[in-house]
A and B are shown apart, each in its own frame.
Chain A
Amino acid sequence: MNVDKLNGFHFLCNRRQDANDRFMSSQDPSSLTDPTQWVERYGDYLYTYAYYRVGAVEVAEDLVQDTFIAALNARQSFRGESSEKTWLVSILKRKIIDHYRKETRSREEPGDDRYSPFVGEGPERGKWDVQRRPADWTTGNTDMDRETFYQVLELCLSLLPERWSGVFRLKTLEELSTGQICKELGISSSNFWVIMHRARLRLRECFEKNWFEA
């Protein structure tokens, strides 16, 4: 049956939505393909998506598996409002957030930052350590090809404490709001700002070492 027509029908009957949903899920298997075909059809795409976000093979593989199983269990809720692929990606996104939530809860980082690039005491306190002052990249050759940039980013993120890279990834790659991240990970907003600040300090320094001086 045509999915658009069904959606139209769905819209007209939205007062009887609950009954209608049951009708659709039992009467319209054509809106979703056979789950056993999902792996061949979307496996690589979802794996690529996950890998670029978590940066670890086994984690990405497990996330893909969890996504397919969750999709199988939730397929009654698929309404055909989005494509099958978009639907699966939305489930995967949720799995990625859950993954970071678990990671963050399981590991507490020490409060002090031993790797601070600032002078710790004396009259110069709070100034950049002479050896670690930021160089201005914009004056040098900053051409980055996409793939190499990504490799360096992954390397540098992997060197951060897990909690920091999780927060950083959720904010900059998943585009979650600050409020959402604080809620999901159970951290205060001031904690959030400190984590982002420290993550950026280290990322910048890591990029300088591994990219701009290479």
Chain B
Amino acid sequence: MFKKMKKLLDRLMMRMMITCEKAAFLISKSQDHKLTFREDVQLRMHLMGCRFCRAYERDLGLLSDSIRQYRDKPDEEPPIELARSKKEKIKEHLRDHQQGDIDHPPHS
């Protein structure tokens, strides 16, 4: 009876064991999406025993925090100037397009 239970438990544990590769995949997934219960248990168990994956999780967290900070303040981006030549070219394009407009029919 005890042996049987141990065997069952071992099998259950084996099922919950995942590789670092799978753990890294789940860490990435968890950043955008809620994990399923099973995935969540698998990941937690793996992280308990693996300091490299724990480091990976922290690194990714730091990376997405930084990206988020960056993204949420778009007006703080150092402005870059559009090249003068390109500006003139775009203006020309716009004038051409306007010429053919129904609102401004070309004089014939």
A interface list, Cβ under 8 A from B: 35-36, 38-40, 43-49, 51-52, 61, 64-65, 68-69, 72-73, 116, 118, 125-128, 133-138, 142, 144, 146-147, 149-150, 153, 171-173, 175, 178, 193-194, 196-197, 200-201, 203-204, 207-208
Contact = CB atoms under 8 A, between A and B. Distances in A.
Given A138-B62, A144-B66, A126 B71 contact: no
A128 B86 contact: no
Contact of A196 (B20, B28, B53): B28
Interface string B65-103: 011101100101111111100110111011101100100
Contacts of A116: 21
Given A72-B97, A172-B71, A52 B87 contact: no
Interface in B3-29: 19-22, 24-25, 28-29
B76 A137 contact: no
B36 to A, nearest CB: 12
Consensus secondary structure, chain A interface:
helix
B64 to A, nearest CB: 7
Contacts of A149: 66, 70
B98 A35 contact: yes
Interface of B: 19-22, 24-25, 28-29, 31-33, 51-56, 58-60, 62-64, 66-68, 70-71, 74, 76-83, 86-87, 89-91, 93-95, 97-98, 101
Contacts of A40: 87
Contacts of A133: 52, 55
A208 B62 CA distance: 12
Given A38-B94, A69-B94, A118-B19, A47 B81 contact: yes
Contacts of B64: 172
A178 B33 contact: yes
Contacts of A36: 91, 94-95, 98
Contacts of B94: 35-36, 38-39, 68-69, 72
Nearest to B68: A172
